C-alpha cells in the first residue's frame, strides 16, 4: 500500500491565534500590520515568538529580543503571549484533522501529521480533501494553515513550507527533482545554519547537490549520523511512522533567560541547582534516569556554548546531577563575562529498574534519594512551586528570587 501523509502547519500560529480572537471581537486584524507576539518590552527576557508578514519586511525575526525588534520597527504592535489561547486553538484544529484521518500525530502545538494511507475509497481526491480541511479551519476557527501532501513525513513537511499562507502543496517522488532539488541546502529539514555553512564550504549549495553527492563525503563534512540522515532526506527517503501517541521523552531539560546579568559564581550555582532539580524531578516522575549531563550558557554576545559529560552509570539523583553540572559550568565560564542564559539537559535516558552504583554512593546516595523523594511528594501534593532547595533562595539574593518567580510563571503557562 502506498503511503499518503498530510502535514498541517498553522501560519504564524501564535500571531494568527491572537489575531483570530481580536477580529472575532471586532478589532483590527493584526496580521495586516507590523505586529508580533512577545514578552514584556521593558524586560530583557522578552523575545519575539511570532511576527506578521508586514513586521518581517522590517527585518523582525522570531527569537530575537523585543528591544531589538522595536529598534528595527518602532511602531511594532506587540501582544503578550497567551498559552491557554494557544492550547485551545491547537486542540480545535487538530480535532478537525482527526475527524478526517484514521491516524494523527501532534508534532508540535501548531502542526500535525495525518496518515491518510489506504483511505482512497473514502477520499479519492487527496487535493480536494486537503482543501476542504484548510477551508474548514479557516472558516470555522478564523486562522489559516498550509497543508503539504507527500509519500512520507519528510516530503509532506517540506511541501507545507512552500509558498504561504493558506495553501496546499504536494511533493511526491516524481516532483522531487523540480520542486525540492533546486532549493538552498539550508531549507532541508534538519539542516541548521552551521550545518548549511559546512556544506556550502564543501561546495554543496542546493538540496540537489546534496542528493547527488557521495554520502561518505557528506559525512566527512557534517559527521556520520547527521550526514547519513540529510543525504537520505535530500533524496526524499524517510520511513518514520505517524505516531498517535507521544514517544517517551528522549531527554529532560530546563533553561532560563536571566532578567539581570549574573557575574557571581554563587548566584549562578544556585540557579544551576534549581535547573538540575527541576529537570531531575520530571525525570523521576517518569521513572527514568540519565547517563549524560549537558550545561549550556549564553553571554552578552548571544552565542550559546555548551559542555557535556557522560556518567559511569545512569542517575536520577538531583545532587549528583548538580555536582556534574557544576564541574561542566566551571569549565565553560570564565567568571568575567556576564551571563544571560543558563540551561541543563539530561539525555541518554534509560528506564531499567536497577539501582546505580558509583563514586556518589553509600550514605550520601541514600540520603540524597530520600531528600529527592520527600521533595517530589510535597510538589506532587501542593504544586511544583511549593518547595525549592534552600540555596536557590539564599546567597542568590535578588537574582535567586527573580529566577524562582520566572520558573513559577513558566510552570503556570
Extract long-range pairs of 300-303: CB within 8 Å, 24+ residues apart. Answer: 300/261, 300/337, 300/338, 300/340, 302/340
User: What are the two backbone dihedrals, phi and then psi, of residue 141, each rounded to the nearest 5 degrees?
Assistant: -110, -15
Q: What separation in angstroms does the CA of 89 have from each of 24, 329, 409? A: 14, 40, 21
Q: Which of 111, 245, 248, 394 is catalytic?
A: 111
Residues 6+ apart with CB under 8 A from 24: 142
Degrees (nearest 5) of the Cα angle 275, 256, 336?
Answer: 95
| CA atoms of 62 and 66, how far apart (whole Å) | 10
Is position 348 annotated as part of the catalytic site? no
| CA atoms of 156 and 126, how far apart (whole Å) | 13
Q: Whose CA is closest to 113, among 22, 238, 260?
A: 238
DSSP code for 178: I
Pairing mode, if any, of strands 145-150 and 168-170?
parallel
Q: Whose CA is closest to 279, among 245, 249, 310, 246?
A: 249
Q: Annotate 281-305 with b (16+ C-beta within 10 A) or e (fewer).
A: bbbbeeebbbbbbbbbbbbeeeeee
Q: Does residue 242 contact residue 119 with C-beta atoms inside 8 Å? A: no
Residues classed as catalytic: 111
Amino acid at each position: 500500500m502506498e503511503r499518503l501523509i498530510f502535514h498541517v502547519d498553522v501560519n504564524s500560529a501564535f500571531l494568527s491565534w491572537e489575531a483570530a480572537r481580536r477580529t472575532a471581537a471586532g478589532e483590527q486584524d493584526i496580521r495586516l500590520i507590523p505586529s508580533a507576539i512577545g514578552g514584556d518590552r521593558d524586560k530583557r527576557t522578552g523575545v519575539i515568538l511570532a511576527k506578521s508578514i508586514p513586521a518581517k519586511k522590517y527585518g523582525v525575526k522570531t527569537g530575537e529580543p523585543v528591544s531589538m525588534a522595536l529598534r528595527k520597527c518602532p511602531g511594532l504592535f506587540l501582544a503578550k503571549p497567551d498559552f491557554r489561547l494557544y492550547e485551545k486553538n491547537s486542540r480545535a484544529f487538530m480535532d478537525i484533522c482527526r475527524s478526517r484521518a484514521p491516524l494523527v500525530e501532534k508534532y508540535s502545538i501548531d502542526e500535525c501529521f495525518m496518515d491518510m494511507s489506504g483511505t482512497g475509497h473514502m477520499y479519492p481526491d487527496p487535493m480536494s480533501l486537503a482543501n476542504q480541511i484548510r477551508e474548514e479551519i479557516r472558516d470555522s476557527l478564523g486562522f489559516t494553515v498550509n497543508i503539504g501532501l507527500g509519500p512520507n513525513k519528510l516530503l509532506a513537511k517540506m511541501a507545507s513550507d512552500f509558498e504561504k499562507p493558506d495553501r496546499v502543496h504536494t511533493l511526491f517522488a516524481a516532483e522531487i527533482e523540480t520542486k525540492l532539488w533546486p532549493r538552498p541546502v539550508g531549507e532541508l529539514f534538519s539542516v541548521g545554519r552551521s550545518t548549511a555553512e559546512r556544506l556550502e564550504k564543501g561546495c554543496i549549495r542546493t538540496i540537489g547537490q546534496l542528493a547527488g553527492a557521495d554520502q561518505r563525503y557528506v559525512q566527512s563534512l557534517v559527521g556520520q549520523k547527521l550526514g547519513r540522515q540529510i543525504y537520505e532526506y535530500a533524496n526524499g527517503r524517510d520511513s518514520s511512522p505517524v505516531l498517535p501517541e507521544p514517544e517517551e521523552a528522549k531527554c529532560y531539560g530546563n533553561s532560563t533567560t536571566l532578567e539581570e546579568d549574573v557575574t557571581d559564581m554563587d548566584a549562578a550555582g544556585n540557579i544551576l541547582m534549581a535547573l538540575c532539580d527541576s529537570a531531575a524531578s520530571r525525570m523521576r516522575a517518569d521513572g527514568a534516569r540519565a547517563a549524560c549531563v549537558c550545561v549550556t550558557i549564553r553571554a552578552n554576545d548571544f552565542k550559546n556554548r555548551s559542555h557535556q559529560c557522560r556518567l559511569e552509570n545512569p542517575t536520577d539523583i538531583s545532587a549528583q546531577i548538580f555536582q556534574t553540572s557544576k564541574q561542566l559550568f566551571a569549565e565553560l565560564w570564565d567568571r568575567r563575562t556576564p551571563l544571560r542564559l543558563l540551561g541543563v539537559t539530561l539525555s541518554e535516558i534509560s528506564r531499567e529498574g536497577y539501582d546505580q552504583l558509583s563514586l556518589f554512593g553509600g550514605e550520601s546516595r541514600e540520603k540524597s534519594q530520600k531528600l529527592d523523594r520527600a521533595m517530589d511528594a510535597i510538589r506532587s501534593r501542593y504544586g511544583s512551586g511549593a518547595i525549592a532547595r534552600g540555596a536557590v533562595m539564599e546567597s542568590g539574593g535578588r537574582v535567586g528570587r527573580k529566577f524562582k518567580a520566572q520558573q513559577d510563571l513558566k510552570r503556570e503557562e
